[in-house]
Structure 1
């Protein structure tokens, strides 16, 4: 949003804010480099098995190709077999060593919890009896429109195809990962990763995404809750007493892209109200490869809430709330700056909507 960059509280000098932000960023970058923070890869995928839902196109396919290039075994999950087959060919072509790596696809409806459990069981059998090491939830689509013009069934469908596909997949995955083992069976294992794909609209909702934003906000709440709850199970592995423990530590992550150029985005643009396009003018869509590359780099640094561009980072800053921080000092400073910026941004968004109504009247479902 242009508002994020151009509207500053009149009581604060934009120059001072800009200089302070740059100096803080330079200081934190310098300290990070001097002391080697984040230099160890915390998301090693070579030789490990990764399941990617929504992996037949867009961001999911880009993630699959880039992880295959890093040596991962890839399982794609989506509904359409033809798309899955084509995507799997591209993934194989991206592989670091196609003779050593393994590739598989599964056609399934992720809104069905039973099918999600079947997916994890099938992957486990295919993976020589071991559950997947990484599960990345990318499934979902956006159906934009104004609230009273959106059928109630569409509101339900958006929650099903966005929130419930992620929740069902996470539930089936964690049930498999968190089965306790006895002290005699415990051995060192690499950390497992559960990754959600959300949206910056979970931080700052925009008019026209009334069916989409609540579902994405629900994913963020699920992620924050699991991020805390998973420590129960991680703690069992550090216990000094002889108790049953989970086989491996688990870490939760969530990625918050903005617009992503894809077939789904093109379809979304056809349905999107003109007011929505105006309000999100500063969202310069990224390619799936750009989003995947930035997200994977952040995972390798061990980040939890991951944004893929500066505007998204500022949006996250204003809505951190009780979410864990990636970097305590940097994220706190960003939160302070974002709060000042959004003193002007939110009223401006409401003002633009008001002006739109004054100029154009009540929107017609068929006019936009």
Structure 2
């Protein structure tokens, strides 16, 4: 629905979680450039401070427009509550836009994923957004308890999922399930918060250049690269511009590239449509060719494991070696 809602940042306030680098930082810059006050939130204070300085030096100091940061690990629920307490009660602000940009992928084969990888995947890719939205809604409900639901001002929540959530494949077992959970969460959140004048938009992001993207390449399995194929990572600033442009058009399921939109047709469900009629025809086509795509991926994966030693075998040998060493020491 292109004209159901507009996005007008000037004179408003945006809180951006995951804005110490990458896409979140570029969104902060572009919003501040449009005279929207921005609150940058992430875990590392030094990175946040550097981004605030970069933004101000890039676009210049804006009159009557604030920019500051809050260092907080909002994957911790209490920390998320404290963050909103500072924004609402200490700063006296009531953000119009909430961007949940935090995300971190550790591409590995399932056997190689560590306990830390699992916990980080859940914390960064899901709990951060969930905690921020839940504590925000409870705080707003308390602050405006004297109002009827239709009297709430218009607010927008933007959740950041991934193409992997709609087209999952080998190597993203630590990341994909959490981003898929966010997509599911966005539908439920939209249903519950719409009566209170909340708009909930979801970004199905493709590859974009960032520090995180460079780190991903260090652990990404070869079979993952084969299935992904040649992938162009667009500049984060360009990706941010696409997102804000689509928000302004009233789009609530935002794809950052054409391939993302195409594979997104594999998953439509209850999510808002983007190019509704075209998506229906493409999804019908994918119903036919989907099994062929799946067969091709399975063939490549089987071939990969035939040509490479299984990580499980290597791990098992290492564990046996450790047991032998321990037994020798005890003797």
Give the TM-score normalised by the residue count of structure 2. 0.87
Q: Give 3-state SS (helix, strand or coil) of 1:195's partner.
A: strand
SS class of match (1:198): strand
Structure-2 residue corresponding to 1:230:
193
Please give the alpha-carbon distance, in whole angstroms, between the structure 2 residues aligned to 1:184 and 1:342: 47
1:252 to 196, 200, 206: 200
Query: In the TM superposition, what is the alpha-carbon distance from 1:261 to its structure 2 partner?
Result: 1.1
Other-structure match for 1:73: 37
CA deviation after TM superposition for structure 1 residue 268, in Å: 0.9
Q: Does the CA contact (< 8 Å) of 1:68 and 1:94 recur in 2?
A: no
Larger deviation: 276-285 or 112-121?
276-285
- Is 1:133 the counterpart of 2:96? The answer is yes
Structure 1: distance between partners of 2:60 and 2:156: 21
1:84 maps to 2:32 = no
Q: 2:87 aligns with which of 123, 126, 136?
A: 123
Q: Distance in 1 between matches of 2:137 and 2:56?
A: 28
Moved more, 264-273 or 116-125: 116-125
* The one of 134, 144, 165 aligned to 1:171: 134
SS in 2 for 1:256: strand
Aligned residues: 313
Structure 2 unaligned segments of length 5 or more: list them.
Answer: 316-331
CA distance in 2, matches of 1:137, 1:324: 19
The verdict on how the C-alpha distance between 1:229 and 1:157 changes in structure 2, with shifts beyond 3 A counting, is: same
Q: Which residue of 2 aligns with 1:270?
A: 218
Match of 2:319 in 1: none
CA RMSD of aligned residues (A): 2.3
For residues 356 and 39 of structure 1, what CA distance do their matches in structure 2 show? 47
| CA distance in structure 1 between the aligned counterparts of 2:151 and 2:184, rounded to whole angstroms | 32
Please give the alpha-carbon distance, in whole angstroms, between the structure 1 residues aligned to 2:80 and 2:260: 31
Is this contact kept in 1: 2:76–2:131, CA < 8 A? yes
Question: Given the alignment, which residue of 243, 263, 269 partners 1:315?
Answer: 263
Which residue is equivalent to 1:332?
280
Deviation at 1:187, TM superposition (A): 5.6
| Match for residue 300 of structure 2 among 352, 364, 367 | 352
- In structure 2, the partner of 1:154 is 117
The question of whether the paired residues in 2 share the 8 Å contact of 1:147 and 1:210 is answered with: yes
Which deviations, in whole Å up to 9, do the C-alpha atoms of 1:65-101 show, x marking residues without a partner?
Answer: 1111111101001111111111011222344761221
Calculate the TM-score normalised by the size of structure 1. 0.79
Using the TM superposition, give the Cα deviation of residue 340 of structure 1 relative to its aligned residue in structure 2, in angstroms: 3.6
Q: Which runs of 5+ in 1 are unaligned?
A: 1-36, 235-248
In the alignment, the residues of structure 2 paired with residue 346 and residue 183 of structure 1 have an alpha-carbon distance, to the nearest angstrom, of: 51
